Structure formats: C-alpha cells, structure tokens
Structure 1
Amino acid sequence: MHLPEDPETPLQINIVPMIDVVFAVLAFFILSSLFLTRDEGLPVALPGAETAETQAQRQVVVTLNAEGETFVGNRAVADEQLLEAIQTLGTLADGGLVVIRADQAVSHGRVVAVMDRLRSLPGVQLAIATDAGQAPDSP
C-alpha cells in the first residue's frame, strides 16, 4: 500500500495573536496611567508644611490666586457663584472633599471667607493644599 506523501507546507508565523496581546497590554497601561495623573490646577505658590498628607477621596479644587481671582477646577467664578459652581459638579453629594489651593500671597481673611462660604454646603469636608515636605515660611 502506497500512501501519498504530504506536501510540506512552508512554516508561517502568525502575528495576529501577538498584535492582540500587544494592544491589550497597551490599553491596560493607557487606562491605568489616566488614573495616576494628579490635577495640579492653576499655578499658585502654595505655602509649605512638613506634615502635609495626600488625600485620596473624590475632591473639588478651589483655587485662590495672588490676583484675587477664584477658580473651581480651571474655571473662573465670581464669589457669588462659588457654591453654585461646586454644586453643578455633583461630586459632593455624599461628603466629598473641597481642597482650597490658596496662593501664599492671599490674605488669611480671604481664605477664611471662602471657607465660611463653602461650609454652608451639606456634608462638605474642607482641606487646604500645601507643598508637602517643605518647612513653612517664617512669618
């Protein structure tokens, strides 16, 4: 009995599965890097504090720059519109955190006035941003 010989097919490297794996790994790193970015916001000279801690919960950033302007996120708002601008973000529904990033040239009274206004929001927690690891400037 004579069996026909199988013609040898040339060897091939199928790269489609390798491309799928590379794209899956790439998508993982892109998505994970989106969660690692910090929102520094607008440039202000923050005061230093040796005991500063990083906050990990949902937060809204209110910035007070040296020129006296107030920002919620990156959007400029008037003092009368501050609470409304924060409420439209909707992140403070169940006890979110409002971080106040005040330039060190902003007067203490201005920061206290903004904090007083923000405390009227129900369940709000306030924090003041500082440069971590730096000694506070001498008065």
Structure 2
Amino acid sequence: MHLPEDPESSPQINIVPMIDVIFVVLTFFILSSLFLTRSEGLPVTLPQAVTSENQLRQHLLTLTLTNAGDLQLGNETATLASLPDQIQAQRVGNRPILLIIRADADVPHGQVVTVMDRLRTVPNIELAIATEGISPAFQPSN
C-alpha cells in the first residue's frame, strides 16, 4: 500500500518579533541617554573662550551665578555669606576642592570678583571659571 506524501511546509523565520525587540532596546537606550546629561545648576549663557578645556576631577563643586544675581551651589540655593559654610559641609576629608564658577555672560565682572574674593577665604580650594569652547572656524582674528 502506498501512502500519499504529506506536503511539508518549508521552515520560515518570522522576524517581526525580533524587530519589535530591537525597537524596544533602541527606545531604552535613547531614553536612558537623555538622563545622562549632568545637571550643572541653573541655566546660564556661558561666555566663550578659545582656551576652554574640560575639568575632570573627582571632587568638584559647581557655583552658578545668574544674571538676576542668584547663587546656587550644586543643587542648593546659596547666599554670599553662607558660601564658605556650605562648601565646608560638602568637603570630603582634606582633599582640595575644585569649585567651578558658572557665571552668566551678562553678570557684571564686579559681582564675579566679589564672589571669588569670598571663596578665597575657604582653605584648600581651587577656583575655575566655566566657559563654552569656540569652534576653530569661529575664532576671533586679532
């Protein structure tokens, strides 16, 4: 007796679920990269400098000066009188602190100097001023 052969279907790979998984992973990485930006404090327009460089240190603090005259040390509001105490409260051991001053471009120079003068009373502190780098194509000519 001869039995008829069953028509076997050829194996197929369904890639639709794989594409769904790839899109989910891609969405995860896009959303997580949005949260990787560092919060530096209040939004200010930094002045530009050709010699601008990144400061990579373990123990650094950021002081933001807005054009309205507000001070913010890290994520806390601050006053000129309370700055030394707030900095000492965030000190870890005896390591030097690099304090980056993020002053808006419209802040008067005298106000920045007043803040820097007050900060120089804090022992074992280094000061830096935050700027935005200028593209080599846009460097001012002398």
Residue correspondence of structure 1 range 94-133 to structure 2 within 5 A: 94-133=95-134
Asked if 1:52 corresponds to 2:52, the answer is yes
Q: Kindly state the Cα deviation for residue 92 of structure 1 after the two structures are TM-superposed.
A: 7.5
Partner of 2:90: 89
Question: Alpha carbon RMSD of aligned pairs, Å?
Answer: 2.3
What whole-Å deviation, never above 9, does each CA across 1:77-126 have from its counterpart, x for those lacking one? Answer: 11111111111111483212000000011110000011111111111100
Q: Kindly state the Cα deviation for residue 44 of structure 1 after the two structures are TM-superposed.
A: 0.2
The answer to whether the 8 Å contact 1:95/1:125 transfers is yes
What whole-Å deviation, never above 9, does each CA across 1:4-29 have from its counterpart, x for those lacking one? Answer: xxxxxxxxxxxxxxxxxxxxxxxxx9
Once residues 94 and 40 of structure 1 are traced to their aligned partners in structure 2, the CA distance between those partners, rounded to angstroms, is 21
Fraction of identical pairs, as percent: 44
Once residues 60 and 93 of structure 1 are traced to their aligned partners in structure 2, the CA distance between those partners, rounded to angstroms, is 15
Once residues 74 and 119 of structure 2 are traced to their aligned partners in structure 1, the CA distance between those partners, rounded to angstroms, is 15
For these two proteins, the number of residue pairs brought into alignment is 104
TM-score, length-scaled by structure 1: 0.67
Q: Kindly state the Cα deviation for residue 41 of structure 1 after the two structures are TM-superposed.
A: 2.2
Partner secondary structure for residue 121 of structure 1: coil
